[in-house]
Amino acid sequence: MKKYKCLLLTFLIFSQVIFSQVRTVKELDANWKFQKGNSENAFEINFDDSKWESVNVPHDWAIYGPFDKEIDKQNVAIVQNGETVASEKTGRTGALPHIGTAWYRNEFTISESEVTKKVILLFEGAMSEPQIYLNGKKVGEWAYGYSYFYFDISEFLKTGDNTLAVKLTNKEYASRWYPGAGLYRKVSLIIKNEESINQWGTSITTPFINEDVAKVNVKTKVSVKNGFLETTIFDTDGKQVSYDKSLVKFENEFDQNIKVENPQLWSPETPYLYKAVTQLFVNNELKDEVSTRFGIRDIKYEAHKGFSLNGEVRKFKGVCLHHDLGPLGTAINTAALRRQLTILKDMGCNAIRSSHNMPSFEQLELCDEMGFMFLAESFDEWAKPKVKNGYHRFFEDYAERDIINLVQATKNHPSIVMWSSGNEVPDQRGSEGVKRAKWLQDIFHREDPTRPVTVGMDQVKATMESGFGVLLDVPGLNYRVHLYEDAYEKFPQGFILGSETASTVSSRGIYKFPVVQEKNKQYDDFQSSSYDLEACSWSNIPDEDFVLQDDKPWVIGEFVWTGFDYLGEPTPYDKSWPSRSSYFGISDLAGLPKDRFYLYRSRWNTTNETLHILPHWNWKGREGEVTPVFVYTSYNSAELFVNGKSMGIQKKNNASPQNRYRLMWMDVRYEPGTLKVVAFNDEGHPVSEKEIHTAGKPYKIILNPDRKTIKSNGKDLSYVEVSVVDKNGIPCPNATNQLKFKVKGKGTYRAACNGDATSLEIFHKPTMKLFSGKLVVIIQSTNETGNIELLVSGKGLQNGKLNLVSKNEL
């Protein structure tokens, strides 16, 4: 097998959006009936589901709670964390009621003309082990809850009403984070002619790109014996830029080469997207049409040099993301994903790793649009288990099918620059694991020869000895910063990827004293310090990764664990209750940035200024005590003042990794009042300043939406940041007031979240406590246009009132 010491990948890629008069896509989102429990006859046409709950899909049945430490309580030793003795873990999978069997039922209508066509039933994710029935007959089943899959249901259909039933089963001990439950991604019908383009049957690459021209190769698999194919390419303004007609097929595939002059290249800075329209004709009659967005770009991985995009060497400034959306659970929502990516874009992030499973189509489409490179991951388990009922049960039968579906469904997204076949799999040890790694990598290569494959390795010494790390296209190291040099010397690829880095833990707005570096530190309140010096036993603080990224050209980037907190895996408190979500996030579960956000921003966002002070300055009872002050800034030096008195100038230096990336005044003694920092440019001139103040008692509620206008489609969201200020308008960072929410008009209350990993308040009840002075309320549109009013109230506080607008088009 070819080793990818230098892998030049030049190609044009696309994400598929379908609409035409010959092909119809019907999203089955409304009018579902849902019931948790094993209703054995629920697949029958005449089954009475009138008393079942009415829901829309995507849907996560477990997110509505309640939290309960008895749910999926696991007595395990977490090998990935270095544990050798089993212990009780109470919040490992989020303590939400995701375990059990449930049924979904829906009726859809097929016309007399449609019943003669080819109809595909597509599931983009079903958690888990779905069994699919149509009109009382079993259509098929799948195993992996994260996989996309489809069935040709043409033979099961009838004219008029058709009854679809889906059985889902979530077993206990099947995950090590919150997996969600239900039809959490879209379900669609694709209705087309029998003579048509195959599902996920188009592949587009460009074997040649320069400033003047791109050679576009379009391969299209079809289900016809005769006919011809026309492909037209449009620019972002809808202007036709190229066209080709092909009369010749090779077996079932058309192969077209199309010239695009003066190509606009896709990159994180300029995510330019074209559109291609491919039309299939038989006997001069249009039989099928697929409309497609795409991007042109080339990628290269070179020994001792690193990764380049469009000829420019660059580093991955990436984060890992689990698939849940905090208080929304796993039910996919484009507005929620867009908000996440907007926050990450501001931080300077340029890459995402889907952890540890297939990404949603919506996430990839947004990454195409907004400019994020993507590492698309497949599995967290191979044949050897991490959890009792994990993917290892299906590996032999399903791994190849799951990879095929992943690659075929998503390979044309310009954002995807790398595949991952696994994360911290126990199979890293031993010869059988090496064989599995090669087998999986070969499948990826067969399905997509244009991208490399990685694995997130945590058993680095074992992979050095076994040959596991040698065979990978891209050796990915999860943590183990002390082994980067050894891995670089022993692995032949000539570069190393930080496939998972940091695992620093913190709680937004919580600070602990004394301020020292700690591993696996725990406190009585089950929180972690936001001085960003606490990590897990196997991991490290951000600065150690920064040194490797900045000083070693053969380190091609990092994916931080994690961009946002997620449900489940509450390390270091996975033995403690209540703790039901992670502390790893750069932003919390509500999407509110922690202090660490600004540490990454100061290094990653090279366009905008960063100047951030921590901690807050409200420490009643600590008067006169040492209270260190950190500043995260894009400037190299600054002066700190406490109530006008200088604490001296600090400059970034190489005394330690922390001194290199942070400005730290370790001997400041607390006195209430004003904390001020003045930043200097490289010439020593003051160029920016910031102040924080000691607040009085909470007085008034402040509401700040991310969007004041949303779309009236019943799905769009506005995230409203809620905080309180004193009489002088100073934020109250310690406020914990209980607030209530009321929504009127053409919107509904969807959920709230305060980012507290120990909170057991239900997200979907219209009340919640502030945590560190803040929380977020989520407003959802209806299908009607008009005004929306949010009222937030709390005892002894001046109410907050906000007006939003819901419109047909934005």
Positions annotated as catalytic residues are: 424, 500
Contact predicate 422/389, CB 8 Å: no
The CA distance from 750 to 327, in Å, is: 9
Taking the C-alpha atoms of 692, 698, 700 and 702 in order, what is their torsion angle to the nearest 10 degrees?
50
How many CB atoms are located within 10 Å of the residue 269 CB? 11
What tokens does 281 get? 């004709």
How many CB atoms are located within 10 Å of the residue 165 CB? 25
What tokens does 779 get? 């407003």
The CA distance from 188 to 347, in Å, is: 35
* Three-class SS state of 339: helix
* Three-class SS state of 302: strand
How many CB atoms are located within 10 Å of the residue 275 CB? 18
Contact predicate 506/473, CB 8 Å: no
**How many Å from the N-terminal Cα to the C-terminal Cα in the chain?**
50
* Three-class SS state of 84: coil
- The residue type at 387: V
Q: Tally helices (H) and strands (E) across the chain.
A: 10, 49
The CA distance from 487 to 481, in Å, is: 10
How many CB atoms are located within 10 Å of the residue 683 CB? 6
What tokens does 56 get? 């829309």
Q: DSSP assignment of 666-709, as one string? A: TT-B--SSEEEEEEE-TTS-EEEEEEEE---S--EEEEEES-SE
In which residue are the tokens 């090779």 written?
A: 250
Report the half-sphere exposure of 301 (CA within 13 A, side-chain side). 26
- Core vs surface per residue 608-629: b (16+ CB within 10 A) or e: eebbbbbbbbbbeeeeeeebbb
